[in-house]
Every structure is written in C-alpha cells, then in structure tokens.
Amino acid sequence: MWTLMIHGGAGSMRRGKLDAGMEAACRDGLNAALDAGEAVLAAGGNAVDAVEAVARLMEDDPAFNAGRGSTLTHEGHVECDAAIMSGAERRAGAVAGMRSTRNPISAARAVMEDSPHVLMSKDGADEFAREMGLDQVPNKYFITEERHRQLVELLTKGADAFDADIKYGTIGAVAVDAQGHLAAATSTGGLTAKRWGRIGDSPLIGAGTYADDRAAAVSATGLGEVFIRAAAAHEVCARMRYAGMNLQQALDGVLAEVQEMGGTGGMIAVAPSGEAAWSFTTPGMYRARSGSDGERMVAIFGDE
Ligand code: ASP
C-alpha cells in the first residue's frame, strides 16, 4: 500500500480567470509528476526516492516556480531553495539561495545523505552540489520570459510591492511507501522580487517541510514568512501527536492559525495509514494525488 500527494503552489487561481494555456501546462505537469512518483512507489521503491523523482520533474518543468521557471529576484537572477526529509529517522537536508545547480532537490538530498549538515546556502551549496557530481547550469537556464514579465510588472508597481499573491508556485511532494515510511520534499524559487538574500519557509525544516513516521509528511506553500513563524509543517505533526487530531483537522487548524497571523497558502500531507489530505486558504491550489487503491485526482480550483 502506498500514497503520493503533490502540489504546484497555492494562489489566486479562479475558474474562468486562469489562462487556458497555463491551466493545461500545469495539469500536464501534475500528471507527469504523479507518473514519475508512482513508477517508484508501485515498484516497491521508497518514499524518499519518490518525492525526489517528483520534485526533479517539476523543477525541470517551466510551468512551476522551482528550478527552471523560478521567480526572479529583485536583481533578475534565480535563487532556489529546497528541502527533503525522511520520516523514518527524521533525517533532513536543505539548500537555500542556490544559483547554478539544475535540481536543487537533489542537492538537498545530497546534504542529507552525504554531509554532516542539514542546511547549506548560496555559493557553498552550489559548490557542494558540484563536488557531488550534480548537473550545473548557467543561471539563465532557470529564467523564463513569463517570470521576467512578472518581475517587471511587480517592480513598476513600486519597489516595495510584495508578491503575496502567489499565482503559481512552489512545488512539493509527500509520500508513504509500501514499508509505511514517510517522506516530504519542497522546492521553490521563492517570492518574485525577493532581495537581501531573503529565504522563505520551503527549505526550513519544520516550517515548509517536515516528515515524521509517527505523525505525517507535510509540504507547504504560501507566504513563507508566516509559515516560518507558525513552524507550520511541524505544528501539523505536533497537533496529531499531542492533541490527537486527525490529518485534516491538523492541516485546517494550522492554516487557520497562519491566516490569523496574516498569511495564506496551502499544505499537503500523508499519514502512515496511507491517508492523504490537503487544505488551502487561497482560491486555488495545484494539487494531485494517487495511490495503490488506483484512484487518481488532479485539481486546481477550490470547488474541485
Ligand atoms: N512559500 C514560498 C516562499 O515563501 C513561496 C510559495 O509557496 O510559492 O518562499
């Protein structure tokens, strides 16, 4: 028995308002990512391999805000953040502000498995990834015309404009494998026009990403600053372990708290039982689920 749940960001997507080409590209991307994760899990593979496979595919897909197609910084570069966590021994690896490693999620995994550290940043993280033999690319590989257009639009609104309205974003995957082990992965370019080396919740273990075989694997998307303050992904697990909440209650409760603190977004999660759940406080969230029960769901809007 296995379950896979993925997201491609939460935001203001509304039926009839979302560009048809963008909607099709995202649905195709979610389906392809599910296929990649399913191939691992259906063959008896482990949850960490599955969430990494999903994240790599979505990082390569320019439709999502991770790897190629990431949002641009204030200076017009791409700086990627990613994290991966294994629920069995609560091992974790993360990277922040990477500029030249094609698949940040694989760098995060290398941090987890091939270094004594949990979080590496900037040039050092890219240097480590290079030493680990991971693909290096020029920063312009990550930059798409659409993200450039979004940066110009935001900057012309005023230098202090903050991209809290994340229309299509960050990617994440959570899985429980046939052995009952959990894993979570999250990867992002962060917020458009970010500056001063701003880092969001995605690469922070316990904020945007967490996995604990005793509770759940969680990946978040939304206004990172608030998810950090709420320790959102860990808080979901804490509510399950200490308050006896089920997965859905824990997700809904934490997102309500995040909203009270001034942030919107979404989270996906799986439990060791194979249960999958999601919740979001934005109009939509790119999300998809599949499992050994043969059911497959791909959705974007709030009413799906
Ligand atoms: N949470 C991400 C960040 O704040 C952005 C997103 O989810 O789209 O960096």
- With a cut of 70, say whether residue 213 has pLDDT above it: yes
Residue 59: pLDDT over 90: yes
Q: Mean per-residue pLDDT for 202-223?
A: 97
Q: Is 144 a catalytic residue?
A: no
Ligand 1 pocket test: which of 201, 264, 280, 282 has the largest number of ligand atoms within 8 Å of its C-beta? 201
Count the helices and strands in the chain (H runs, E runs): 8, 12
Residue 160 has pLDDT above 70, yes or no: no
The number of beta carbons lying within 10 Å of the beta carbon of residue 62 is 18
In SS3 terms, 185-199 reads as EEEECCCCCCCCCCC
Q: Ligand 1 centre and the CA of 190: distance in Å? A: 5
Residue 184 forms beta bridges with which residues?
85, 174
Residue 236 has pLDDT above 90, yes or no: yes
Q: With cut-offs at 50, 70 and 90, classify the pLDDT of residue 228.
A: very high
pLDDT at site 164 = 52
Rounded alpha-carbon distances, angstroms, from residue 59 to 38, 42, 117, 143, 221: 17, 22, 23, 12, 15
In 3D space, the residue among 283, 280, 260 whose CA is nearest the CA of residue 268 turns out to be: 280
CA of 106 to the centre of ligand 1 (A): 19
* Apex 70 CA angle, 176 and 201, nearest 5: 55
pTM: 0.96
Whether pLDDT at 29 is above 60: yes
Query: What pLDDT is stored for residue 264 in this prediction?
Result: 93
pLDDT at 154: 87
Q: How confident is residue 73, by pLDDT bands cut at 50, 70 and 90? A: very high
Of the listed 71, 73, 101, 170, which one is catalytic? 170
96 and 81 Cβ atoms separated by less than 8 Å: yes
182's enclosing H/E stretch is strand 182-188
> How far is residue 142's CA from residue 194's CA, in Å, rounded to a whole number?
16
pLDDT, position 19: 84
For residue 167, the model assigns a pLDDT of: 55
Kindly state the average pLDDT of the residues 8-22: 85
Half-sphere exposure of 285 (CA within 13 A, CB side): 27
Are residues 176 and 74 in contact, defined by beta-carbon separation less than 8 angstroms?
no
AA letter at 191 = L
CB burial class (10 A; 0-12, 13-18, 19+) of residue 21?
exposed
Average pLDDT, the chain: 94
pLDDT (average), residues 109-117: 98
pLDDT at 158 over 90: no
The response to whether residue 201 sits with its C-beta less than 6 Å from ligand 1 reads: yes
Q: Locate 235 and state its tokens.
A: 């808080």
* DSSP per residue, 285-303: EEEEEEETT--EEEEEETT
Q: Residue 157's pLDDT is what? A: 82
Q: Is 284 left (phi over 0), alpha (psi -120 to 50) or beta?
A: beta
The stretch 142-165 carries a mean pLDDT of 80
Regarding the beta carbon of 169 and ligand 1, being less than 6 Å apart is answered yes
The Å distance, Cα 199 to ligand 1 centre, comes to: 9
Stretch 263-278: mean pLDDT = 96
Pocket test for ligand 1, best of 191, 198, 218, 281 (most atoms within 8 A of CB): 191
| Burial group, residue 44, by CB count within 10 angstroms (0-12, 13-18, 19+) | exposed
DSSP letters for 12-54: ---TTTS-HHHHHHHHHHHHHHHHHHHHHHHTT--HHHHHHHH
